[in-house]
Structure 1
C-alpha cells in the first residue's frame, strides 16, 4: 500500500545550535532530497537567530560534565533494551531519550485510547526512542499498513541514527523521517494526523537542580508554544515534561481543554511527567 505521507518533505531547515557529537565509529552523513519554500526558510532562520541570542543551546555536549554523561551511560539498557545490538546516539542523546519502558507506556496509551490511529507525528524525535515505541505498538495489529509514525527533527545526524535504531527494532519501514523545523512542518501538514507527541528540549540536565521547573522558561520553546503547535497537529496530543514541572501553569495553557498529568516512575524514582489531551485523556 502506498504511504499516506510523502517521505523526505524537507531538506535540513535549522540546527538550532545543537552540536551533535556522534559516539566513536558512528556514521554522520545523511542524504536527503527535498525542498523548502523561501518563506519557510526565512521564518526558520529568524527563529534560529532568536534562539542563538537567548543562548538556549548552551547545554551542548562540551558543557555537560563527564560524570553527568557517565550516570546516563550506566543506565543504557534502561534507555534501550537492545542497546548492545548497535543503537546509535549522540552524547547529549543520553539525557534526551525517553527510557524505553516509559516510551512503551506512552505508546500503549495511544494504542488503547485511539484505537483506529494510523498516523502519529513525533515533533522532536531525536534518535527515535518515542517514535520507535509508537511504531512497535501502533502497527502490531495491521502490519501491512504504512506509514504509522512520522518523526520530525531538525538534526540530520540524529535522523540518520533514528533510522538505524528503527532497523534494530524492526520498524524502519513503519517510520517516515523528516529532517526539518517542526513549526514549518506543522504549518504545511496541520490536522493530518490521528495523534501527536512531543518531547521538546528542556535545556539540558540542569533542570534537575531547580526545585520547580518554570514551563514558561523552557527553551528554545516554552510549554505554551509546544501545546499550541501540538494541537495544530491533532487534538489528541501528548507532551513529555520534566518531573519537577510547575503543573499549575498547565491550567492557563489548557484553558477549556481537559488535560491529564501522569507521573512516570521507574525503579522507584519519578522520571518524567506526561501530559495528555483529547482522546488520550483517561475517562
Structure 2
C-alpha cells in the first residue's frame, strides 16, 4: 500500500530536489541556527528527509512527537485513528502512524505535503498514513463528514506566525492561523471531543481558560503540559477530553498542586540561571505514577534519564530506547493569574539572558576582529622594518666596497712614487 495523494505541482517538485534537501549554506539567514538541530527534528535526517525553508523552524522536535504519541495511547488505548491538522513536514504524523492504526495528515501547502509524503516513506509508515490536501478554514463538507466518521483524536499545531512570537511577553491566541483559538476549537470539536493543541510557550493561559469555559462549560478544564528540550521550554501541549484529565483530583487539590508546580518551575528556572541544574522537580504527571507498559527499541535520537526533566539530543545511534514520557511539567489552565505571572517573569529573564549572551558574542567577535587587524598591522610593520634593514645593509656594503677601492688606489700610487714614477706623461 502506498500513499494516494494528488498534488497538482508534484512534477514541479520532482524537478527541484535541491529545494527540499537544503545544506546549511542554502538556508535563509534566520533558519541557519536550526541546522545544528536537524537530528532533533528528524533522527533519520541523513536518510533522505525533505524540508523546505519554512519547515526548518516549524517541525515539532522528534522527542516531543514521540512523547505525545505515547501519552495519547496511554490515556486512551482505544484510539485507532488520529487527525494531524497542519501536518507540515510530518514530524507528528510519522510518530502517530507508528503508534496507531492510522494517521490522517492534512495541510493546504503542497510543498509541506510533498515533504510529509517523502518523510513517511523514509520512516516506513506509508501504510498507516493518509494525506489530504485542503484548507482547514474552507474544508469541503464531504471531507468533513469523512473525518467525523474516521477520527478518534485530533491534533493541531496551528501556525504561530513565524518566530516572531518569541519577541512578545504574552502570545495572543487570537493571532493563530488560519483562525482564532476560539474558532479553531469550535471546528475541532465538530470532529472529536478529544483534542490536543501545540501552542507557543508564552501563550496566554487566562485566555485559554476563559475560552475553555465558554465552549465546554463553567466547570471545564483543559490540561496543559510544558514540554522541555535541552532545558528550555519548547511549547505547550493543551489537551481537551475527559480521558486526558487528571483522575481522582478535586478542584481544590488541583489548584494547590498547580500553584506548587509553578513555584517549583520558577525555582528550577532560577537554578538553571545560576548554573546549577536542579532536576528534582516532582510534577503532577509524576504524581499520577504513570508507567508505560510497552518497552521496545527502535532507531531514535532521544535519550533520557530518570532524574532529568529534559531530553538530550545527539546524532542517531543504533537501537536507542524511546524515552519514557515522565519529564514534563503538568498543570491545568484555570484562570490562574499567578501562573501567568511566573511564566511571563521567566520569559523576561530568558530574554534578558539571551540579550546578554548576544552582547558577549558580539564583543568576542569584535575583539577577535581587532586582534586580526592588529596582527595585519604588526605583520606590515615587520615587513617594512625588514625591508629598511636590508636597504641599510646594502648601503653599508656598497660604502665598504668603495672605501676598500680607494685604499687600494692610494697604495698603488705610493708604490709608483717609490719607483720614480710621478704619474705624469710628457
Tell me, in whole angstroms, the C-alpha distance in 1 between the residues paired with 2:19 and 2:210: 47
The alignment status of 1:179 with 2:173, answered yes or no, reads: no
Q: 1:191 aligns with which of 144, 148, 152?
A: 148
Q: Deviations over 1:166-198 (max 9, x none)?
A: 111110111100011224156333532110100
Answer whether contact 1:121 1:233 (CA < 8 A) is retained: no
Tell me, in whole angstroms, the C-alpha distance in 2 between the residues paired with 1:204 and 1:217: 11
Partner SS for 1:233: coil
Q: 2:124 aligns with which of 170, 177, 184?
A: 170
Residue 42 of structure 2 corresponds to: 80
Q: Deviations over 1:55-89 (max 9, x none)?
A: xxxxxxxxxx9342011122111111111111101
The alignment status of 1:229 with 2:187, answered yes or no, reads: yes
Tell me, in whole angstroms, the C-alpha distance in 2 between the residues paired with 1:282 and 1:173: 34
Tell me, in whole angstroms, the C-alpha distance in 2 between the residues paired with 1:235 and 1:197: 11
Partner SS for 2:234: strand
Q: Which runs of 4+ in 1 moved over 6 A?
A: none
Residue 248 of structure 1 corresponds to: 206
Partner SS for 2:169: coil
Unaligned runs of 5+ in 1: 13-21, 28-64, 140-147
Unaligned runs of 5+ in 2: 9-15, 22-26, 248-426
Q: Deviations over 1:204-258 (max 9, x none)?
A: 0011111110112223321112211221111111000001111111112111243
Residue 62 of structure 2 corresponds to: 100
Relative to structure 1, the CA distance from residue 191 to residue 280 in structure 2 (aligned partners, 3 Å threshold; closer, same or farther) is farther
Answer whether contact 1:109 1:280 (CA < 8 A) is retained: no
RMSD: 2.4
- Paired residues, number: 225
Mapping 1:11-30, distance limit 5 Å: 24=18, 26=20
Q: 1:280 aligns with which of 236, 244, 253?
A: 244
The alignment status of 1:269 with 2:223, answered yes or no, reads: no
For the pair shown, which has the larger CA radius of gyration, 1 or 2? 2
Mapping 1:78-227, distance limit 5 Å: 78-139=40-101, 148-183=102-137, 184=139, 187-192=144-149, 193-227=151-185
Tell me, in whole angstroms, the C-alpha distance in 2 between the residues paired with 1:98 and 1:175: 18
Tell me, in whole angstroms, the C-alpha distance in 2 between the residues paired with 1:11 and 1:74: 31
Superposed displacement of residue 26, structure 1: 3.8
Q: 2:221 aligns with which of 226, 235, 258?
A: 258
Relative to structure 1, the CA distance from residue 25 to residue 123 in structure 2 (aligned partners, 3 Å threshold; closer, same or farther) is closer
Answer whether contact 2:98 2:125 (CA < 8 A) is retained: yes
Task: Using structure 1 for the length normalisation, give the TM-score.
Answer: 0.73
Superposed displacement of residue 276, structure 1: 0.4
Residue 32 of structure 2 corresponds to: 70
The one of the two structures with greater contact order (alpha-carbon pairs below 8 A, sep at least 6) is: 1
Per mean C-alpha deviation after superposition, the further-off stretch among 236-245 and 256-265 is 256-265
Answer whether contact 2:19 2:52 (CA < 8 A) is retained: no
Relative to structure 1, the CA distance from residue 11 to residue 69 in structure 2 (aligned partners, 3 Å threshold; closer, same or farther) is closer
